[in-house]
Amino acid sequence: MSDPLALVPLAAAARGGRIDAHGARELVGAGVTLLQRCAPLVRALSGKRAAILLPTSPAFLTALAASEGRGTVLVNPLAAPPEVEHQLRDANVGAAFTIAALQDKLPRAFPRVLLDDAPARARSIINDAARDIDLGSHSGIALEGEMDAPGRDEEAVIVYTSAMAGTPLGAILTHRNLLANAHAVVDGLAFDDRSVVLAALPWAHLFGFTVTLVAPMLSGGRVITLPRFSPLRMLDMVRTEGVTTLLGVPSVFAGLLSVLERSGGPLGAGSLAHCFCGGAPLAVELQERWERATGLPLRQGYGLTEAGPACLFNPPSRPNRPGTLGVCLPRMEVAITDGEVCVRGENVFAGYVRGGAHGLQVVDGWLHTGDNGTMDGNGYVTFTGVRKAMFTRHGFNIYPKELERAIGAMKGVRRVTVRAIPEPSRENDIALEITGAVSEDDVKRWCEERLSAYKQPGRIEIRAR
């Protein structure tokens, strides 16, 4: 029998870490119990993938364990119902783990398990039959095996991304990919069993999943979750929960800094030691303002879904280099080929569910990221722009062709062009230029019904011809 710690959820529970008030072993044990006590769920998942549609919360680890190591689609709670339906259909999903407040995003009558009361209870709704399941009697699990197990080469999670051609592609990450990347994060960011990480990033986003869930659990640390971003609430948690490591995208740090600068007071968080930023280019000016306000360097990193995702960080073991993405994390290689950042290692993904010809390519083991950069003699990489058709907003990728395809299907629209408008507080805003016989209100409603919250346009220009 292969090492059970080669599966992500079991490896995450092995060192006895905690998420909020719950031990990781308790959360994983609840997921195992759910499978044992819900035969309809087992039948619904037979030969199919699972899906997790949850906010950042302890229930996420229970859902991951209940997926039984199979490929599991991480669905963004901000997604619109048509986007959710596409992912479920494209990935051949048999059942979804969610909560009551999000279940209306699923197709009607789609098999689901509600985890509002996890890890104590769950409710399955399968074939129109509702059933309550007691998970509390299984308080934890005993785990033995190699703590640095390399991970199985079987599918672990699927994340939809890379819609350069107009349709999001499901990137497949194996247990080996994720564990290799999470162990690299543990080493590179100096996580240990004293680490307290504030998880303010969605765990449906691989930056949040690997760096603020799996990696802290592999080190036996503690994770404090913040399901919905609020600068005031986040600062309060940093000050009162003993947070040692703060991670976010540029707009998160910009929001925190705005509150700090308005208050004029100190950060007041004696435990906080490390601040890391990724997900989008970070302005040097924001780094400098953060260090003046807090006394702590804001260290930039870089990654992408297809690489697990973390690749580069300004490590705490070296002086911070503002304006750079940092150096390569352990256990992988980064090179610049014809001006493009390329990545090689066990963290590089296994391919896409389908449509791989339209996504990022792996050549001779090297993932070609579609991002441009330069590298100095000390291995520090500087971002110089993208060659793939995308931009970022609040740390999320925006693919113009995806929006153009969705809005172009609207009756009365003859042509649509999507472009980025630089907006420092959220990297970019979205502008639409539409030719056709439609109103701005109609376009807004169409987008709200079909596109994720972060894909909603900020500016709409309509021309009759």
What percent of the chain clears pLDDT 90, i.e. is strictly above it? 92
Q: What is the C-alpha end-to-end distance of the chain, expressed in Å?
A: 66
Sign of torsion over alpha carbons 307, 22, 119, 200 = negative
Across 328-334, average pLDDT: 96
Architecture of the domain made up of 398-463: 2-Layer Sandwich (3.30)
Q: How far is CA 348 from CA 109, 242, 279, 291, 304, in A?
A: 36, 34, 17, 33, 10
Angstrom distance (rounded) from CA 152 to CA 68 = 13
Structure tokens at 247: 């991670």
pLDDT in tens, 192-217: 999 999 999 999 999 999 999 999 99
Across 322-346, average pLDDT: 97
What percent of the chain clears pLDDT 70, i.e. is strictly above it? 99
The confidence score (pLDDT) of residue 1 equals 42
Angstrom distance (rounded) from CA 106 to CA 111 = 9
Query: Residue 58 pLDDT > 70, yes or no?
Result: yes
CB contact at 8 A, 219 and 389: no
- Report the residue count for the chain: 465
| 3 state SS of 59 | helix
CB contact at 8 A, 50 and 95: yes
Angstrom distance (rounded) from CA 316 to CA 339 = 27
Burial 65-100 (b: 16+ CB within 10 A, else e): bbbbbebbbbbbbbbbeebbebbbebbebbbbbbbe
Q: Considering just the CA atoms, what is the radius of gyration of the chain in Å?
A: 22
Q: Could you tell me where the DSSP H helices lie in 67-174?
A: 81-90
Angstrom distance (rounded) from CA 102 to CA 441 = 25
Q: What kind and span of H or E run contains 346?
A: none
Phi, psi for 301 (deg, rounded to 5): -135, -175
Angstrom distance (rounded) from CA 114 to CA 128 = 14
The confidence score (pLDDT) of residue 354 equals 95
Angstrom distance (rounded) from CA 58 to CA 17 = 12
The string of DSSP codes covering 276-338 is: EE-SS---HHHHHHHHHHHSS-EEEEEE-GGGSSEEEE--TTS---TTS-BEEPTTEEEEEET
Which residues belong to CATH 3.40.50.12780 in the chain?
Answer: 171-386
The class that CATH gives domain 171-386 is: alpha beta
Across 26-33, average pLDDT: 95
Query: Residue 399 pLDDT > 80, yes or no?
Result: yes
The confidence score (pLDDT) of residue 95 equals 98
Angstrom distance (rounded) from CA 86 to CA 167 = 10
Residue reference for tokens 């037979």: 46
pLDDT in tens, 153-181: 999 999 999 999 999 999 999 999 999 99
Query: Residue 2 pLDDT > 90, yes or no?
Result: no
Q: Which of 194, 238, 197 is nearest to 214 (CA)?
A: 197
pLDDT in tens, 61-114: 999 999 988 999 999 999 999 999 999 999 999 999 999 999 999 999 999 999
Across 267-277, average pLDDT: 93
Q: Residue 321's CB: how many other CB atoms inside 10 A?
A: 19
pLDDT in tens, 409-464: 999 999 999 999 999 888 999 999 999 999 999 999 999 999 999 999 999 999 98
Which residues belong to CATH 3.30.300.30 in the chain?
Answer: 398-463
Q: Which of 362, 334, 205, 283 is nearest to 326 (CA)?
A: 334
Sign of torsion over alpha carbons 51, 112, 20, 453 = positive
Number of alpha carbons in the 13 Å side-chain half-sphere of residue 429: 10
CA 195, distance to chain mean position in Å, is: 20
The mean of the pLDDT values for the chain is 95
Query: Residue 377 pLDDT > 80, yes or no?
Result: yes
In the CATH hierarchy, which fold is given to the domain comprising 4-135?
Answer: Rossmann fold (3.40.50)
pLDDT in tens, 8-25: 999 999 999 999 999 999
CB contact at 8 A, 75 and 66: no
Number of alpha carbons in the 13 Å side-chain half-sphere of residue 89: 9
Structure tokens at 75: 């669905």
Across 310-326, average pLDDT: 96
Name the amino acid, one letter, at 95: A
The confidence score (pLDDT) of residue 464 equals 84
pLDDT in tens, 338-353: 999 999 999 999 999 9
Name the amino acid, one letter, at 372: N
Q: Residue 317's CB: how many other CB atoms inside 10 A?
A: 8
Query: Residue 383 pLDDT > 80, yes or no?
Result: yes
